Amino acid sequence: MSEQLVEPPAVWDDRHSRSGVGLLASRIGTFCIVELQKLRHDRSELVTRAIQPILWLVIFGTTFSQIRAIPTGGIPYLDFLAPGVIAQSALFIAIFYGIQIIWERDAGVLTKLLVTPTPRAALVAGKAFAAGVRSVAQAAIVVVVAAVMGVAMTWNPVRLIGVVVVVMLGAVFFSCLSLSIAGVALKRDRLMGIGQAITMPLFFASNALYPIALMPGWLQVISHVNPLTYEVSALRALLLGTPTSYWVDFAVLAGSAVAGIVCAAALIGRLAR
Amino acid sequence: MSSAIDIRGLGYRFGTHRAVDDLTLAVEAGECFGLLGPNGAGKTTTIRLLNTLLPLQTGEVEVFGRSVRTQAMVVRRSLGYVPQQLSIEGALTGRENVEWFARLFDVPRRERRARVDEVLEMVDLRGDESRLASTYSGGMVRRLELAQALVNRPALLVLDEPTVGLDPVARDSVWLRVAQMQRDHGMTVLLTTHYMEEADALCDRVALMHRGALRALGSPDELKAAAGEGASLEDVFRHHTGEALGDHDVDGEKGGLRGVRATRRTARRLG
């Protein structure tokens, strides 16, 4: 094939190689761009995935508003519910993100990604923030629907940026949970089963549908260790002005996100074996 | 000329099965080297150890003098890799697929556009770069994968059965471009293939593996001459691997159920 060999190219030209935070930011940016490009080419998933949260608002929300069975501290139940449904729609997107990584494993894409100069943690973080991009796009649809239904939300841009950050952090944690499960389950069918088994308990064991004070004691304990609770609290405070401790909410969400990335990074290599 | 790949005493086990058994070989810089063998021979495991996908158990592997055990990130920067499966993102355009990998390999922003143009031109996809990759034919997908693998100007291009499932015209088109790249840029190419005539035509040297071990090493002409007058590389293959072609069922190797499924899936997607 090569009759006259020439000198090999400069192999170790590291002038443009990144490391540390620069590399992490670069990879997160790259995966977010790819996710946005996918969304630009096909928005149908956003529309179909919007159906369920809209049903929660339109059917569950309006019905329970009529019943007035759930004490919400003086705000209409639909308003109380809307941030919970935003968090839920982001949760549903993120919790099944592991299926995508298994598909990528089967298709050889993951193998190729793992051979790029991308540390596992940066790869996982990139994927997790990409899930965040999709979740934010989904949340935007729910916010608009809720506004159309008369939910009295803030339009303060700073608070809306806060909403984006909260949804992003929540999606990072739950997508990392999903990636971690994918690293253990290894098969799509198993992951589907586990995903379905944990999604609704996560949702019901949070303050998305009702205040924690209404729960039985054991469920209150679970709800206090459930990151979804802190995501909903922060969203409710940002959108409706209800009281919360932002420090606690953001600390729990950021801590969970970091722990999720570390855990998923340790397990994702199993998918390549 | 120094070794591009230096493998010494490489061994790897999946449970009790020895997938690679004390493999020692060197690939010279600038050569096209073929790793041949039946299903389950250990070719893919060797490649996965070389490209850092699997952790080394025993032995050492160096790529251009850098250990894959201790300098994995540095080694990855020098690699271009095309796996056997069709590994493009169908929801992105051809150009976006290549840009994605340009970013992952830290191709500087000011050079990125020109570099992407260059590799798309090289694989003859400029006219189709704006189409979603899901609409590409099998041959176009393979050429797009080559473009992805070449965008970082790798010193070592690793191709794991890149022409499986392709029709002869598409296969020729892929190999033509690989040969052109190698000739123009002095790149080292490591490939696995089941097509002996391809290995014969393309490779400067080949290694024949069977049951994880090296059975023969040399240029196709040397191996054919050693096998007797008029022998083909396929005869050499049969001589060294016997009748036990593809009788392994091993996880992690192409001979395993998962590997066979992946091969069939690839063939199905190629139509």
What's the number of domains chain B is made of?
Answer: 1
Alpha carbons B145 and B100: distance in angstroms, whole number: 12
In a domain, A15, yes or no: no
Q: Does A42 touch chain B (CB under 8 A)?
A: yes
Output the domain CATH number for residue B35: 3.40.50.300
In a domain, B113, yes or no: yes
Q: Token pair of A156, please? A: 């303060």
Give CA A69 to chain center in angstroms. Answer: 30
Distance from CA of A267 to the nearest CA of B (A): 13
Q: What is the pLDDT of residues A201-226, one digit of tens each?
A: 999 999 999 999 999 999 999 999 99
| Cβ under 8 Å to A: B residues 113-172 | 132, 148, 153, 155
pLDDT in tens, chain B (271 residues): 579 999 999 999 998 899 999 999 999 999 999 999 888 889 999 999 999 999 999 999 999 999 999 999 999 999 999 988 888 999 999 999 999 999 999 999 999 999 999 999 988 899 999 999 999 988 899 899 999 999 999 999 999 888 877 778 878 888 888 888 888 878 999 999 888 888 898 899 999 999 999 999 999 999 999 888 888 888 888 888 875 444 444 444 545 555 556 655 665 555 5
In a domain, A166, yes or no: yes
In a domain, B219, yes or no: yes
Q: Which of B61, B48, B126 is nearest to B94 (CA)?
A: B126
In a domain, A150, yes or no: yes
Q: Is B260 exposed, middle or buried (0-12, 13-18, 19+ CB in 10 A)?
A: middle
Q: Mark yes or no for CB contact B155/A116 under 8 Å.
A: no
Q: Token pair of B159, please? A: 């191709």
Q: Mark yes or no for CB contact A113/B104 under 8 Å.
A: yes
Q: Which of A44-53, A68-77, A130-139, B242-251 has the highest mean pLDDT?
A: A130-139
What range does the domain containing A214 cover? 47-272
Q: Does A41 touch chain B (CB under 8 A)?
A: yes
In a domain, A229, yes or no: yes
In a domain, A12, yes or no: no
Q: Is the distance from CB of B148 to CB of B122 less than 8 angstroms?
A: no
Q: Token pair of A61, please? A: 């929300």
Query: What percent of chain A is modeled with pLDDT above 90?
Result: 60
In a domain, B225, yes or no: yes
Find tokens 């080949």 and name the residue: B206
In a domain, B12, yes or no: no
Which stretches of chain B are assigned E, i.e. beta strand? 3-14, 17-28, 32-36, 58-63, 66-67, 79-82, 156-160, 188-192, 205-210, 213-218
Alpha carbons A176 and B91: distance in angstroms, whole number: 22
Can you tell me whether residue A163 is helix, strand or coil?
A: helix
| Pairing between β-strand B32-36 and β-strand B205-210 as defined by DSSP bridges | parallel
In a domain, B238, yes or no: yes
Alpha carbons B124 and B140: distance in angstroms, whole number: 9
Q: Which of B13, B10, B151, B18 is nearest to B68 (CA)?
A: B10
Alpha carbons A23 and A17: distance in angstroms, whole number: 8
In a domain, A22, yes or no: no
Task: Look at residue B248 in the predicted model and tell me its pLDDT.
Answer: 46
Q: Does B5 touch chain A (CB under 8 A)?
A: no
Task: Look at residue A46 in the predicted model and tell me its pLDDT.
Answer: 82
Q: What pTM does this model have?
A: 0.85
Alpha carbons B107 and A16: distance in angstroms, whole number: 7
Sheet with strand B156-160: strands edge to edge = B79-82, B156-160, B188-192, B32-36, B205-210, B213-218
Write the single-letter amino acid at B240.
H
Q: Mark yes or no for CB contact A113/B96 under 8 Å.
A: no
* Chain B residues lying within 8 Å of A115, measured CB to CB: 51-53, 76, 79, 81
| Cβ under 8 Å to A: B residues 169-228 | 179, 182-183, 185-189, 201-204
Q: What is the pLDDT of residues A222-243, one digit of tens each?
A: 999 999 999 999 999 999 999 9
What's the number of domains chain A is made of?
Answer: 1
Sheet with strand B58-63: strands edge to edge = B17-28, B3-14, B58-63, B66-67
What range does the domain containing B182 cover? 31-42+75-270
Alpha carbons A215 and B200: distance in angstroms, whole number: 73
CA distances from A196 to A121, A167, B50 (A): 26, 21, 38
In a domain, A265, yes or no: yes
How many other CB atoms are there within 10 angstroms of residue B169's CB atom?
8
Alpha carbons A148 and A114: distance in angstroms, whole number: 44
In a domain, A178, yes or no: yes
